[in-house]
Amino acid sequence: NEVRVFAPATVANMICGFDILGFAVDFPGDEVKMYRVEEPGVRIRSIEGDEGRLPLDADRNTVSACVKMLLEALGIQEQIGVEIELIKHMPIGSGLGSSSASTVAGLFAINNLLGDPLTKEELMPFCVEGERLACGHGHADNVAPALMGGITLIRGYNPLDVIKLPVPTELYAGIVFPKVDVPTRDARQLIKEKVLLKDAVTQWGNIAGLIAGLYDSDYDLIGRSMHDVLIEPTRAILIPEFYEMKQLALEEGALSFGISGSGPSVVAIARGKDIAEKAATRIQQHLTACDIESFKYVSAV
């Protein structure tokens, strides 16, 4: 009557696909331990690794709030009692889908404790609601890959239509998190609501090229396509040394470089683990020289 679930960090947007593309990494991620108890209701027992930033109040904590939402939807909130331990292995506000990983782990855990009444597809809308609670907007490009694994496309939001995409075997991500706080809420307020048609044409060309590249394992096409002309120019100003980091990653042979989700983490996409590792190391060395603390994660896409 207890489960332990790990849900991975995710790189939303995949550089060119704002709010529609994302992939999961191997590590870091968050862990939820959930226990069935006699007394009905949802309670948080403990939270580790959040530097005291997350609420223990079950109504205000996103994980417990989502668990409650699911129990209510199933009409069993009066009968079921659970207690939650949340262990965060990744920083909050990092652009690595920290809140999504916790939410997905929590919802997967409760579903599992109940004997899996819902499929992953059916769990997805609850995960999106969790994202809305966490940052004020229900985008699915972190929760979808955290729940489904691999690379996912949100073909549409209304109704939600999630497509799993093929993952070329040599595709790696070198991720660096410069330790500055960029809340998704703020990073979303900054971006312009209107885009120029010529920029839209460039962007959808890139998205289509990336998808074709993924299906054909065409690394050159993937690299050519992973550019963002809509969001990056605005958000880059929130990230210290962004363009210097980009240059270093490309010098090390990365296929592409950009912002992970809403930042401040950045991601170098590479063919092969060695190049991803080298790009991330070089970026980290640069940040250290600039007196900016950072963390690095290298993972298969």
Shortest separation between residue 26's beta carbon and ligand HSE, angstroms: 19
154 among annotated binding-site residues: no
**E strand or H helix that includes residue 294:** strand 294-300
Kindly report whether the peptide bond that precedes residue 264 is cis, defined as omega within 30 degrees of 0: yes
Considering only residues 9, 13, 128, 258, which one is a binding residue for ligand HSE as defined by CB under 6 A?
Answer: 13
Considering only residues 64, 94, 102, 184, which one is a binding residue for ligand HSE as defined by CB under 6 A?
Answer: 184
3-state secondary structure of 17: coil
Contact (Cβ atoms closer than 8 angstroms) between residue 102 and residue 33: no
184 in catalytic set: yes
Contact (Cβ atoms closer than 8 angstroms) between residue 9 and residue 27: yes
Half-sphere exposure of 80 (CA within 13 A, CB side): 23
Among 10, 103, 152, 184, the active-site one is 184
Determine if 157 is a binding residue for ligand HSE (CB under 6 A): no
Shortest separation between residue 211's beta carbon and ligand HSE, angstroms: 17
Considering only residues 94, 262, 284, 299, which one is a binding residue for ligand HSE as defined by CB under 6 A?
Answer: 262
The one-letter amino acid at 67: V
Considering only residues 120, 188, 224, 296, which one is a binding residue for ligand HSE as defined by CB under 6 A?
Answer: 188
Shortest separation between residue 28's beta carbon and ligand HSE, angstroms: 15
Q: Residues 6 or more apart from 140 whose CB is under 8 A from it?
A: 19, 124, 127, 128, 131, 154, 157, 160, 162
Among 31, 83, 129, 131, the active-site one is 131
* Geometric angle at alpha carbon 68, from 142 and 184, rounded to 5°: 30
Specify the stretch interacting with ligand HSE by CB under 6 A; choose among 11-19, 192-200, 207-215, 249-257. 11-19
Residue whose entry in the numeric block shows the structure tokens 């965060």: 88
Count residues contacting ligand HSE (CB under 6 A)? Answer: 14
10 in catalytic set: no
Determine if 19 is a binding residue for ligand HSE (CB under 6 A): yes
Considering only residues 30, 83, 141, 228, which one is a binding residue for ligand HSE as defined by CB under 6 A?
Answer: 141
Q: Is 171 left (phi over 0), alpha (psi -120 to 50) or beta?
A: beta
Binding residues for ATP are: 91-101
